[in-house]
């Protein structure tokens, strides 16, 4: 099992607080940015994706998470979550608003803003992910691609379909040789809270060598 899978499986939102969450997310960011890369394999070809910048997003889905005490864990702009008006007594039967959970062990989720690495928890009723905001391709010291939406093409865009072709395969590879440390956490770019103000949570992490 890879270091990245280990660290995201060890994360438990319900054991954090508003004061400790940044530290816990930092543990995941340190691995994602300093301990390896995503290997994308298609037939005989392969490429390496080295994350350089990530932003974390969280959404608690218990009714109590909507209170003032826990609003810090509700990023309302998060894509992959239940709608607010879900029938909580029969959520799976609420076809309009129910959104099935991704596995806790991790999943890649492409969307209009880029690609998320998710680590949701259905038992504890929360969504969690980090968006890869910037990355390098093949060279861990090469040029940085800052257009996050391009990553979906890098990872999934060249896979043909058909019964006689090899499907695409993506996995995390541990590689401690890419360690450079992290810069100080910062706020997420252009991310606004429910009051339409800049969200002040410092859940954005960047490699030290950028």
> pLDDT tens digits, the chain, 210 residues: what are they?
579 999 999 999 999 999 999 999 999 999 999 999 999 988 778 999 999 999 999 999 888 888 899 999 999 888 998 766 655 565 555 566 678 899 988 999 999 999 999 999 999 999 999 999 999 999 999 999 999 999 999 998 877 776 566 678 899 999 998 999 999 999 998 888 777 788 899 999 999 987
Q: What is the pLDDT of residues 27-41, one digit of tens each?
A: 999 999 999 999 998
Range of the domain at 182: 3-206
pLDDT value at residue 94: 59
Q: What does pTM read for this prediction? A: 0.90
Q: Beta 126-137 vs 114-118: how paired, if at all?
A: antiparallel
Residue 70, C-beta contacts closer than 8 angstroms, at least 6 positions apart: 60, 64
Q: Give me the residues paired with residue 39 across strands.
A: 48, 171
Cα–Cα distance, 140 to 50 (Å, whole number):
6
Cβ atoms of 40 and 170 within 8 Å: the answer is yes
H-helix or E-strand spanning residue 31: helix 21-34
Rounded CA separation 54/3 (Å): 17
**C-alpha closest to that of 126 among 13, 7, 8:** 13
CB 193 within 8 A of CB 76: yes
d(CA 46, CA 40): 5
What is the pLDDT at residue 190? 85
Q: Which two tokens stand for residue 75?
A: 């990023």
CB count in 10 Å sphere of residue 87: 14
**103-127: pLDDT as tens digits:** 988 999 999 999 999 999 999 999 9
> How many domains in the chain?
1
Indicate the length of the chain as a whole number. 210
Answer for the pair 106, 118: CB distance below 8 angstroms, yes or no. yes
Work out the number of other CB atoms within 10 angstroms of the CB of residue 14. Answer: 12
CATH code (residue 59): 3.10.300
Both structure tokens of 128: 């969690």
84 vs 86: CA distance, rounded Å: 6
CA 178 to each of CA 50, 71, 155, 163, 196: distance values in angstroms, whole numbers, following the listed order: 9, 36, 20, 38, 38
């Amino acid at each position: 099992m890879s270091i990245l899978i280990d660290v995201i499986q060890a994360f438990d939102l319900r054991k954090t607080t508003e004061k400790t969450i940044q530290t816990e997310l930092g543990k995941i960011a340190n691995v994602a940015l300093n301990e390896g890369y995503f290997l994308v394999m298609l037939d005989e070809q392969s490429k390496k994706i080295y994350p350089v910048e990530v932003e974390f997003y969280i959404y608690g889905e218990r009714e109590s998470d909507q209170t003032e005490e826990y609003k810090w864990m509700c990023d309302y702009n998060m894509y992959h979550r239940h709608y607010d008006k879900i029938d909580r007594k029969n959520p799976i039967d609420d076809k309009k608003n129910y959104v099935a959970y991704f596995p806790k062990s991790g999943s890649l989720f492409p969307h209009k803003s880029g690609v998320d690495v998710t680590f949701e928890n259905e038992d504890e009723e929360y969504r969690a992910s980090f968006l890869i905001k910037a990355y390098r391709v093949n060279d861990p010291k090469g040029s940085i691609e800052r257009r996050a939406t391009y990553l979906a093409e890098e990872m999934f865009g060249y896979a043909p379909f058909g019964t006689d072709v090899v499907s695409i395969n993506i996995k995390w590879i541990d590689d401690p040789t890419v360690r450079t440390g992290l810069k100080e956490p910062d706020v997420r770019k252009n991310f606004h809270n429910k009051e339409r103000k800049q969200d002040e949570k410092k859940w954005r992490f960047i490699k030290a060598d950028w």
